[in-house]
């Protein structure tokens, strides 16, 4: 059981999301939620406070009479539950609920504790509201997507429950759950935040870490297959640059390749003084996709780390409006709901994951092109050349998917379109950025799955299964459990999907 207290770190967040670890709220969290609510209830008497007794957005100039204030919150939720497109995945929605719950738990929102109780139950019971991908502009928060969450919390809308899409009312009856109570501004507080883009962003960050780790392992395996020299990932060369990511990637490569029987030392081959030939049989230096791995993956590693830092700060920040400050006994109006921080980080993340995908595609091309590698049969075809095709067909899929990533990497952060009668005259598009980033990440796993199958075939083509490093042997055996070595042509799509799942789940 994970207890949420003062600060939710990404490790605990991902344990709850991916590992279904149950959680509860500490007593001090319940106390500050209640304190914030009680303060706002008293403070809002005879004062004009946005979203409590005014309309919303450009209609904030209209006073709402006291007898209509509660209905105002229901109107806001129902009118903005207007998303469309593909439903967000259950893991994305679960992450969004947890991000919203944690932000609202900071005591800056003035809402009652039935909200937290029900959101906690949804997470722990794996009930995920129907939230659509299209709808949010990422300023004034994820208004449309969070309206669909709020719709479920008031007992309406639809949810995914045990693999089925069902009416919320039915599922609440099965699980004995009650809708939240609307007392002051619960509708606005739920909707007016960055939690959908942030929740999706954390899932993206976690999957990006997996992609990076796999890219290092795959790059090491290619180094082994071509019996490259070890100095391009040496401590001395990489520590002559000051970038943390480059040094870290090179260090991982040294660790992974320490048990390989295939890597060469330059001093034993080219520094002996015995090389008198005019044209060298072996390459003096390898192609960039093999030799420059620390320099390519280093900035990707640094960017993923930076994205994680921003995401962790955001889930532990108050991001609705207005902010209820119990300490100063004041209510502050502003724009903490604006999603620029997350939008920018998601754009950066999808850029570097696209570059990682491009590295994977170039490494794949190196393996498949016998004129370049001068080592393997064309398309790593272990059958009869001309009659069999090996990995030729799969390369088309990898190439087209890489091209899609390149197109998807256009920035959302700079694509603001004014809306809401120009009240929202510059917006973040953070939710779109997070959703597109998740597509780029999924595409990257698909390209990498094709590369991994090709590498397994290459290891068998060269008879290197007993010579590769322990790290390479480990994943090679797993891939061979999914797809045994083949020389006759295979229908590959089921195996590509299974290897993709293996990459994403390991």
Give catalytic residues, as residue numbers: 50
Listed residue (349, 356, 355) closest to 216, CA to CA: 356
Structure tokens at 263: 């890597």
- Alpha-carbon distance of 196 to 145, in angstroms, equals 7
Listed residue (314, 280, 324, 395) closest to 138, CA to CA: 314
> Which residues on adjacent β-strands are paired with residue 84?
134
Listed residue (357, 341, 348) closest to 400, CA to CA: 357
Taking CB atoms within 8 Å and a gap of at least 24, the contacts of 380-384 are: 380/454, 380/457, 380/458, 380/461, 382/457, 382/460, 382/461, 382/485, 382/486, 382/487, 383/487, 383/488, 383/489
Cβ neighbours of residue 273 under 8 Å, at least 6 residues apart?
none
Tell me, rounded to whole angstroms, the distance of Cα 92 from its chain centroid.
9
Report how far apart, in Å, the C-alpha atoms of 290 and of each of 61, 241, 443 are. 62, 19, 22
State yes or no: cis peptide before 322, omega within 30 of 0.
Answer: yes
Tokens 């800056």, residue located: 108
**What is the CB-side half-sphere exposure of residue 305 using CA atoms within 13 A?**
11
Residues 161, 171: contact at Cβ < 8 Å?
yes
- Alpha-carbon distance of 148 to 80, in angstroms, equals 8
Q: Where are the beta strands (DSSP E) in 307-370?
A: 323-325, 330-332
- Alpha-carbon distance of 428 to 417, in angstroms, equals 9
Tell me, rounded to whole angstroms, the distance of Cα 216 from its chain centroid.
19
**C-beta atoms surrounding 487 within 10 Å:** 14
Cβ neighbours of residue 38 under 8 Å, at least 6 residues apart?
none
Residues 157, 129: contact at Cβ < 8 Å?
yes
325 φ/ψ angles, rounded to the nearest 5 degrees: -110, 105
**What is the CB-side half-sphere exposure of residue 308 using CA atoms within 13 A?**
17
> Which residues on adjacent β-strands are paired with residue 23?
2
- Alpha-carbon distance of 484 to 434, in angstroms, equals 37
């Amino acid at each position: 059981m994970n207890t949420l207290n003062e600060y939710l770190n990404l490790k605990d967040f991902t344990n709850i999301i991916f590992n279904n670890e149950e959680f509860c709220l500490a007593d001090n969290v319940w106390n500050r939620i209640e304190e914030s609510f009680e303060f706002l209830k008293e403070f809002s008497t005879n004062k004009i406070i946005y979203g409590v007794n005014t309309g919303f957005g450009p209609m904030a100039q209209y006073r709402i009479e006291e007898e209509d204030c509660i209905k105002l919150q229901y109107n806001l939720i129902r009118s903005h539950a207007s998303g469309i497109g593909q439903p967000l995945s259950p893991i994305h929605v679960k992450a969004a609920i947890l991000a919203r719950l944690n932000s609202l738990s900071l005591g800056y929102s003035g809402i009652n504790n039935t909200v937290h109780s029900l959101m906690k139950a949804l997470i722990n019971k794996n009930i995920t509201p129907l939230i659509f991908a299209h709808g949010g502009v990422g300023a004034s928060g994820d208004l449309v997507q969070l309206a669909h969450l709020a719709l479920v919390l008031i007992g309406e809308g639809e949810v995914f429950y045990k693999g089925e899409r069902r009416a919320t009312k039915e599922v609440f009856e099965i699980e004995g759950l009650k809708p939240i109570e609307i007392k002051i501004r619960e509708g606005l507080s739920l909707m007016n935040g960055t939690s959908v883009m942030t929740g999706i962003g954390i899932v993206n960050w976690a999957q990006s870490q997996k992609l990076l780790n796999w890219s290092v392992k795959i790059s090491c395996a290619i180094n082994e297959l071509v019996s490259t020299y070890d100095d391009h990932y040496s401590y001395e060369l990489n520590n002559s640059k000051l970038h943390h990511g480059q040094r870290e990637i090179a260090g991982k490569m040294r660790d992974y390749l320490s048990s390989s029987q295939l890597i060469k030392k330059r001093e034993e081959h080219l520094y002996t003084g015995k090389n008198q030939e005019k044209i060298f049989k072996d390459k003096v230096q390898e192609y960039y996709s093999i030799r420059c791995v620390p320099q390519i993956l280093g900035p990707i590693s640094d960017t993923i780390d930076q994205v994680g830092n921003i995401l962790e700060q955001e889930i532990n920040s108050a991001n609705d409006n207005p902010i209820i400050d119990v300490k100063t006994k004041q209510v502050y109006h502003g724009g903490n709901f604006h999603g620029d921080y997350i939008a920018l980080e998601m754009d950066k993340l999808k850029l570097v994951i696209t570059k990682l995908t491009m590295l994977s595609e170039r490494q794949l091309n190196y393996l498949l092109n016998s004129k370049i590698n001068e080592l393997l049969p064309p398309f790593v075809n272990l059958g009869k050349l001309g009659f069999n095709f090996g990995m030729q067909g799969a390369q088309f899929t990898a190439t087209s998917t890489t091209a899609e990533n390149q197109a998807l990497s256009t920035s959302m952060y700079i694509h603001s379109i004014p809306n809401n009668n120009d009240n929202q005259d510059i917006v973040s598009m953070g939710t779109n950025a997070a959703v597109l980033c998740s597509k780029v990440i999924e595409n990257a796993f698909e390209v990498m799955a094709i590369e991994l199958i090709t590498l397994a075939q290459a290891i068998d083509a060269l008879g290197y299964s007993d010579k590769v490093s322990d790290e390479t042997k480990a994943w090679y055996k797993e891939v061979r459990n999914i797809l045994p070595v083949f020389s006759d042509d295979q229908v590959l799509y089921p195996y590509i999907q299974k290897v993709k799942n293996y990459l994403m789940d390991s």
